[in-house]
Each structure stands twice: as C-alpha cells, then as structure tokens.
C-alpha cells in the first residue's frame, strides 16, 4: 500500500493524519526509551564507574548541551528538507549513538556518547511539531501534540521495568544494544508509510505541499516567538529534573531498591501520559465550544501550571509514597502544559515557520535544563533534593508568566 500525499490547504481533515501521528507517537516512545537508559541504570553505572552526583550531572548535561545546541539546526533541516527526510536523519544519528553506549568505558566516553545521542534526539520535537502543524487542523493540533507527548511519557513509564529487567537478565551493555535497535525498526515503518514529496495518492489527491520556510530574521523580531522561547527555558527544566534524577532520588533520598524503582518508578510518567492526552483534549474541546483559540490554549496552560506547583509538596512529603504521589501530579501538569505551549507556533505562524520556532524553543529548553541539571548535582551533593524541588515549583508560574506577558493574545499572524 502506497501512502497518500501530505495534505494540501483546505484538506486538514486528511484521514491519514492518524497514521502519521501514530508513527510520531511510536518514534517518541523509542526516543525516550533511549534517553532513559542511563537515568534508569544510574545506580548501577555510578557504582561501576565510581561517579559522584556532580559527575553524573556532567553526563546528563553533555546530552542536554548537545540537545540544545542542535535543536535550532534541526528546525531548519525540517523546514528545508521536510518531515520524511528530517526524521530519517535524526533517527539514524540517535540510534547509532545509543548502540555505541554499549562500548562505554568511563565518564569521558559516557559524556561523549550522551552528547551524540542528544544531537540526534533533539530532532524529534521540531519534527513532531512541524508534522502536526502540516497534517492537523487548528482544533486538533493540541490533541496531536498531546498524542506525541504521550510517547514522551509512556517511554519513561516503560523504561524502569523494561531496562531493569534487561540489566538484571543480560547486563547493562545489552540494554543499549536493544534500545538502539528499536530506532532502526521504527525508521523502516516511517519510510514505508510517510509519503515522499510530490507523490500523489491513489485517491487522486494533489501533490504534497511545499511549505515555504520563513527567514529567521523575520521570526526573531516577533515577541510571540520570544514568549514561547522563554516559557520553554523556564518550564522544561521541571521535566528534565524527573527524567534525569527520579531513579536516583528514589534510590538515595527515599530508600527504594532497584526492584522497587522498577515496580513504582513508572507511575509519574503514566500520570504524565494522562496529562498529555487530557491537555490536548481539553484545549480542543474548548476551541470547538468557544471558537476562541486564545481562551482554549491559555486555560489549559494555566491548569498545567497549577499542577506543577505541587513540587512544593514533594519536597516536604513525610513518606516516600506521598512524595511519589505528588510527583505524579507534577508530571501530569507538565505534559498538560507543554503540549499546549508546543502548539502555539502553529497557532501564531504558518507551517513554514513552525520547525524553526520549535527549534528555537527546544534550544532554550535545553539550555535551561543544562543549567538546572548541573545545579542539581552540586546542590544534592552539598545539601539535599529539597531546594531543587522547591526551585522547580517556582519555575512553573515563571514560565507561564513570561509566555503570557510576551506572546499576548493567541491569534494567527500575517508575516510580511
């Protein structure tokens, strides 16, 4: 079966969009399984390579530095070459890097390989955002991003039991070989089902649309772009705190064993998956009811912000299971929030600008996460996790405040 062409203007209800978003979802699951391998294995790797918390933060920061530095480049790649080719390049790079982790010999090689992984994996989000903008009508874009972000939550939810089982059964090096191979399996599906540019469907639809890229000089003059960028700079470190540090937090601060981490460590990420889906659904439902994209997006963003402030409760929870419960609410809130923030570039700007804006925002998110990850290692070694959890809770309203102040009313903008 040959896939149809990508949708043309006025063809926003193309049924193939559900196949495309299913592929994006699966690709995001693989993306996060790959990146969660080291956090889940962190107690094992710390013991084997005699790593301090600060040294562990260097490994996470190497990933995030490359992730941030590459994100805006991927935005340009997707806007220039399209979604099919962009994803193919990104997945090959990150899968090769993941497999190469099996040959790691210490701190230096882990940092280098994590940087290579970050450089490849950063392509996922400009690609996902641009693909949703191209295939989905405005009222369904938040839901489309919600489905993609569900992959960002399901991957981390699957990671603790799956990776710990593989580590206990076959050793930690096998984990990287297996998770890296998943990327090539996904790539085969992507190349089969995603249409080539200019290929007409069997139903006689028009050829694929060429979305003209918008110059960066035009985009960077818009305060709406800077509102989205700053929101991600302040907001995304909250998510990265849980991605990079949750297993170590449960192990060192809350006394969980590896088997208990496998049994319970997935819960915040299942909550995050529910947040991604419900945030996208609510935003779309409000848009259908009110025909007001500004009200729909901002209502969902405010609900997510409120949920993320429960980091305060995590910091002072008396029992480990209460802390886990509060973390579930925080992760739910982040994904509720971020899916709607990621939809804003396509609400404001044409498709040809979306990849670049998503790249700018992703770079800012990565820079914020690098700063926060390095700070976390130092603070935990010298004090505890409490100041970090409190800071993360403060970042949530700061991110939303910067977004609302700079971006103003959500509406379509004509670029000259």
- The total of structural domains in the chain comes to 1
> Is residue 414 in some structural domain?
no
The answer to whether 239 touches 231, Cβ cutoff 8 Å, is no
Q: Is residue 336 part of a domain?
A: yes
Q: Is residue 179 part of a domain?
A: yes
Alpha carbon 385 to its chain's center: 23
Residue 119 in any domain: the answer is yes
Tokens 């996904």 found at? 186
> 124 and 306 in contact (C-beta within 8 Å)?
no
Cβ(246)–Cβ(400) below 8 Å: no
Query: CA-to-CA distance for 74 and 122, rounded, in angstroms?
Result: 7
> Residue 134 in 3-state DSSP?
helix
- Residue found under tokens 């981490």: 261
- Record the pTM: 0.74
pLDDT at residue 53 in the model: 82
Q: In 209-320, at which residue ranges do the beta strands (DSSP E only) sit?
A: none
Compute the distance between CA of residue 2 and CA of residue 410 in angstroms, rounded to an integer: 38
Straight-line distance from the first to the last Cα atom of the chain, in angstroms, rounded to the nearest whole number: 41
Residues 6+ apart with CB under 8 A from 229: 360, 361, 364
- CA separation for the pair 67, 373 (Å, rounded): 13
Tokens describing residue 285: 């439902």
**What's the pLDDT at 414?**
80
Q: Let me know: does 82 contact 33? Beta carbons within 8 Å.
A: no
What pLDDT, on a 0 to 100 scale, did the predictor assign at position 197?
A: 63
Residue 151 near residue 27, CB atoms below 8 Å? yes
351, 78 in Cβ contact below 8 A? no
Domain that holds residue 43: 17-193+213-407
Of the CA atoms within 13 Å of residue 65, those in its CB half-sphere come to 13
pLDDT score of 206: 32
Cα 290 from Cα 368, distance rounded (Å): 35
Report the pLDDT value the prediction gives residue 218, as an integer from 0 to 100. 85
DSSP code for 279: H
Residue 353 lies in a domain: yes
199 domain-assigned: no
Local confidence pLDDT in tens for the 416 residues of the chain: 455 554 544 344 667 889 999 999 999 999 989 988 998 898 889 889 998 888 888 898 898 889 888 887 888 888 888 889 999 999 999 999 999 999 999 899 999 999 999 999 989 988 888 888 888 887 788 788 888 878 888 888 888 889 999 999 999 999 999 999 999 999 999 999 998 764 433 333 333 445 677 888 888 889 999 999 999 999 999 998 988 788 888 888 888 888 888 888 889 988 998 998 899 889 989 998 998 999 999 999 999 999 999 989 998 998 989 999 999 999 999 999 998 998 898 889 887 787 788 878 888 988 898 888 888 888 988 888 899 999 999 999 999 999 999 999 999 888 76
What pLDDT does 200 receive?
Answer: 36
289 lies in some domain: yes
Residue 58: CB partners within 8 Å, gap ≥ 6?
Answer: 107, 111, 374, 377
pLDDT of residue 204: 32
Neighbours of 52 (CB within 10 A): 13
CA-based nearest residue to 141, from 152, 150, 129? 129
Instruction: Supply the DSSP symbol for 249.
Output: I
Residue 324 contacts residue 267 (beta carbons within 8 Å): yes
Q: Residue 82: left (phi > 0), alpha (psi -120 to 50), or beta?
A: left
Give the residue among 98, 85, 96, 181 at the shortest CA–CA distance from 126: 85
C-alpha closest to that of 163 among 36, 27, 328: 36
- How far is residue 300 from each of residues 146, 242, 306, 339, 344, measured CA to CA in Å? 12, 22, 10, 9, 12
Alpha carbon distance 412, 416 (integer Å)? 13
| Closest to 141 measured CA to CA, from 357, 378, 343 | 343
CATH of the domain at 239: 1.20.1250.20
């Amino acid at each position: 079966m040959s896939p149809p062409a990508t949708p043309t203007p006025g063809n926003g209800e193309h049924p193939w969009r559900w196949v495309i978003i299913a592929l994006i979802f699966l690709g995001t699951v693989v993306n996060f399984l790959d990146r969660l391998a080291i956090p889940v294995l962190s107690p094992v790797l710390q013991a084997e390579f005699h790593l301090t918390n600060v040294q562990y933060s260097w490994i996470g920061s190497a990933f995030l530095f490359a992730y941030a530095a590459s994100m805006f480049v991927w935005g340009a790649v997707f806007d220039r070459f399209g979604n099919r080719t962009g994803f193919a390049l990104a997945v090959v790079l990150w899968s090769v890097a993941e497999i190469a982790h099996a040959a790691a010999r210490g701190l230096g090689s882990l940092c280098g390989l994590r940087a290579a992984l970050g450089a490849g994996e950063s392509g996922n989000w400009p690609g996902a955002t641009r693909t949703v903008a191209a295939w989905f009508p405005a009222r369904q874009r938040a839901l489309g991003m919600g489905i993609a972000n569900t992959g960002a939550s399901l991957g981390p939810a699957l990671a603790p039991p799956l990776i710990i089982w593989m580590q206990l059964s076959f050793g930690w090096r096998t984990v990287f070989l297996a998770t890296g191979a998943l990327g090539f399996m996904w790539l085969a599906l992507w190349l089969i089902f995603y249409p080539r540019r200019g290929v007409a469907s069997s139903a006689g639809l028009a050829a694929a649309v060429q979305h003209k890229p918008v110059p960066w000089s035009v985009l960077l003059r818009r305060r709406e772009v800077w509102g989205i960028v700053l929101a991600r700079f302040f907001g995304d470190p909250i998510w990265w705190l849980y991605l990079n540090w949750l297993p170590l937090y449960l192990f060192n601060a809350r006394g969980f064993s590896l088997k208990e981490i496998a049994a319970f460590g997935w819960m915040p990420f299942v909550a995050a998956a529910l947040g991604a889906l419900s945030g996208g659904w609510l935003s779309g439902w409000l848009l259908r009811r009110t025909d007001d994209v500004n009200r729909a997006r901002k209502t969902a963003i405010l609900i997510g912000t409120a949920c993320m402030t429960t980091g305060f409760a995590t910091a002072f929870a008396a029992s480990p299971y209460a802390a886990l419960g509060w973390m579930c609410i925080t992760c739910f809130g982040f994904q509720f929030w971020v899916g709607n923030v990621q939809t804003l570039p396509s609400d404001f700007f044409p498709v040809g600008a979306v990849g670049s804006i998503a790249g700018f925002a992703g770079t800012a998110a990565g820079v914020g996460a690098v700063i926060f990850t390095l700070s976390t290692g130092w603070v935990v070694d010298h004090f505890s996790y409490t100041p970090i959890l409190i800071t993360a809770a403060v970042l949530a309203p700061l991110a939303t405040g910067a977004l609302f102040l700079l971006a103003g009313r959500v509406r379509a903008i004509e670029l000259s």
